[in-house]
Structures are given as structure tokens and as C-alpha cells.
Structure 1
Amino acid sequence: MQTSGEIVTAVVLDPEGQVAASGKLATAGAYGIVDQVETAAAHRRRGLGSVVMRTLAWHALRRGADTGVLVATDDGRDLYRSLGWTVRTPIAVAYLPEPAGA
């Protein structure tokens, strides 16, 4: 667990000390915002994403947040559902490249 200002980062290391799974949390009042939850390909389907999410949820509760917010990829949605999260609204994402020379 690492804390930098308002950001909490949960990290699970493999036996070689490499990051196997991680995720970040920021709180804003009653909201815990979860971001960048990732499990390395070689470590998927072992429960590490659940460990990261439960750790972040615990820290969110300690900080007074009682509502979680996250944007899930299609791959992550099953994990979040298994942990009791529900889809409230679909999100559309757009990417605009920076102009050359900016």
C-alpha cells in the first residue's frame, strides 16, 4: 500500500518483486473513485484483482466514502460484478490526439 497525498495505491507483487496487480483510489467526500485496476496477464484469474479492490474499498470506507465510482472495461466488468458492483450507466469514451507541435 502506498499513499501519495489523496491517492492510495494498492500493489500486489509476485515472488520476483514485480507488480502482479494494482489499482488506485481517490476520495471526494462520500465518493471513492477507483481507477487503473490492472492485473498482469501472467497473474490473471488468481483473485489478485479482488484483493486490490477489497483493499481499496477498505481504505475508501476509512476515509469516509460510502459510494464507489469506477469506469470498467469489458474485461473488468465481470470482476466488479462478482464483488457486488452494478452498472449504473454506460460510458462512451473518445480520444482526441494532441495536435503536432503542441
Structure 2
Amino acid sequence: MSTTLGSAHAEAPPATADGYRLDTWTRAGVARALVRTVDGAFAARGQVAITGRAFVVDQAETDPAHQRRGLGSLVMQALVNIVAEQGAVAGVPVATPEGRALHETVGWRVLAPLTGAMRS
């Protein structure tokens, strides 16, 4: 999957759902977004590695108890805004099949399927 950033991608993130707060930060070329409930419980997160004009999305997830509330889209838009401000124009996600659905919802397209592997 991939996306090319344009003016449509750089926009204000959607409003955070009632009962949640969004925090973002960047350190050593990695931008992170974290959504927690107002009492501090984990709800959703994601991160992007910024490599010049490209970025890679990794570890985007929403806790099952908090799904279907727009939190995944909130995280993705917040991360895209960060990388767009830094001049990135193209992105690739590292995603599970479930994550693919989120990426497609926010405008990413499949170029070729990737197969994951684990070595133990």
C-alpha cells in the first residue's frame, strides 16, 4: 500500500471523540500519536518513521474496546499532518490485513500485497 501526500492530506485532524485525548511528539525522526481515555487508559496509537520525502507507518492500532469511534483515523491524520509539515510526500504502511482496511478508509491504495514473516 502507499499514498502520495497532497493538499487533501494536510488538514486539521478530526475532532477527538468525547472522553479521549490525543498526544503527538517526534523524536529522532519518529513521530508518534497516542490516544488515551481521559482517565489515562490506552485507546489507540501509531508511529511513522520519516526518511526525507518518504515515511513509513508502523504499529498503528486501536484497542478493541475503543474501535469504531474514529480513533484510528484520528491517529493516521495526526501522523500525516506531522510528516507533511516536514516535507514528506510519499508513505508506505506496515500493516496487518485488519490495518489494511483502515489505510484504505483514509485514502491509501494497494500497490502489491506484502507477506510478513517471523523467525523464532
1:71 is displaced (CA, Å) by: 2.2
Give runs of aligned pairs for residues 65-80 of structure 1, distance below 5 A.
65-80=88-103
SS at match of 1:57: helix
* 1:34 and 2:66 aligned: no
Q: Choose from 28, 37, 42 the match for 1:19.
A: 42
Q: How many residues end up aligned between the 2 structures?
A: 97
| Preserved contact between residue 58 and residue 94 of structure 2 (Cα < 8 Å) | yes
Q: Which has the higher contact order (CA 8 A, sep 6+)?
A: 2
**Cross-structure match for 2:68:** 45
Q: Choose from 81, 89, 95 the match for 2:104.
A: 81
Q: Choose from 52, 55, 60 the match for 2:83.
A: 60
Q: RMSD between aligned alpha carbons?
A: 1.0
Identity value in percent:
41
Q: Choose from 80, 84, 92 the match for 2:115.
A: 92
**Cross-structure match for 2:4:** none
SS at match of 1:22: strand
1:30 is displaced (CA, Å) by: 1.2
TM-score with structure 1 setting the length: 0.89
Instruction: Tell me how far apart the structure 1 counterparts of residues 27 and 42 of structure 2 sit (CA, whole Å).
Output: 18
Instruction: Tell me how far apart the structure 2 counterparts of residues 31 and 17 of structure 1 sit (CA, whole Å).
Output: 32
Q: Which has the larger radius of gyration?
A: 1
TM-score with structure 2 setting the length: 0.77
1:32 is displaced (CA, Å) by: 1.4
